[in-house]
C-alpha cells in the first residue's frame, strides 16, 4: 500500500501537497472527537476511546492552542487540588463545549472543501 501511495504522490514539486491532501482524505471517515462536559452526560460509554480501548479518556493539547484545552487544563488542575475549583456551572461548560465543537466543525468543513478543490485539480491534470 505504501509503495502504491508513494507512486501516486509522485516526485515533482507538488508531491508533498498531494501526499498531505490524499492522506487527509483517507483519514476523513474517522469519527471526529467532540468536547463535552462529563457532568451533563450520563452515559459513561460515551467516555470510551475506541482505538485505545480505555473506558475513560480525555484529550487536550497545549493550553496556548485552543480555549477548550485551557478549560480542560483548569478542570484537571482543580480535580488534582492544584488550583481552586472552577465556579462555572456544568451547563455553562457544556455550552462552551458546544460552541467549540461548532467552530471546529466549521473549520473542518472549510479544510474539506479546500482538499476537494485541490483533489479535483489533481485528478484533472493527472494523466
Closest by alpha carbon to 59, among 67, 50, 69? Answer: 69
Residue with cell 479518556: 57
Contact 74, 83 (CB under 8 A): yes
More confident residue, 82 or 42: 82
Contact 92, 75 (CB under 8 A): no
User: Which residues, at least 6 apart from 34, have a Cβ–Cβ distance to it below 8 Å?
Assistant: 97, 101
3 state DSSP class of 127: coil
Contact 46, 55 (CB under 8 A): no
What's residue 4's pLDDT?
Answer: 74
pLDDT of 94 > 80? The answer is yes
3 state DSSP class of 126: coil
pLDDT of 110 > 80? The answer is yes
Answer left, alpha or beta for residue 53, where phi above 0 means left and psi between -120 and 50 means alpha: left
What is the SS3 assignment for 20-72?
HHHHHHHHCCCCCCCCCCCCCCCCHHHHCECCCCECCCCCCCCCCCCHHHHHH
The ranges assigned to domains in the chain are 1-30, 34-125
- Please write the tens of the pLDDT for every residue from 31-76: 677 888 888 888 888 788 877 888 888 777 777 778 888 888 888 8
What's residue 36's pLDDT?
Answer: 85
Mean pLDDT estimate for the chain: 82
Amino acid at each position: 500500500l505504501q509503495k502504491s501511495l508513494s507512486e501516486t504522490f509522485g516526485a515533482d514539486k507538488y508531491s508533498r501537497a498531494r501526499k498531505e491532501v490524499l492522506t487527509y482524505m483517507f483519514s476523513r471517515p474517522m469519527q471526529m472527537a467532540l468536547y463535552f462536559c462529563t457532568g451533563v452526560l450520563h452515559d459513561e460509554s460515551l467516555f470510551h476511546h475506541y482505538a485505545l480501548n480505555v473506558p475513560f479518556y480525555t484529550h487536550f493539547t497545549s493550553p496556548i492552542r485552543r480555549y477548550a484545552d485551557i478549560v480542560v487544563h483548569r478542570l484537571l488542575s482543580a480535580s488534582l487540588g492544584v488550583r481552586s475549583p472552577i465556579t462555572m456551572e456544568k451547563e455553562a461548560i457544556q455550552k462552551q463545549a458546544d460552541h467549540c465543537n461548532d467552530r471546529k466543525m466549521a473549520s473542518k468543513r472549510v479544510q474539506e472543501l479546500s482538499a476537494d478543490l485541490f483533489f479535483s485539480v489533481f485528478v484533472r491534470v493527472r494523466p
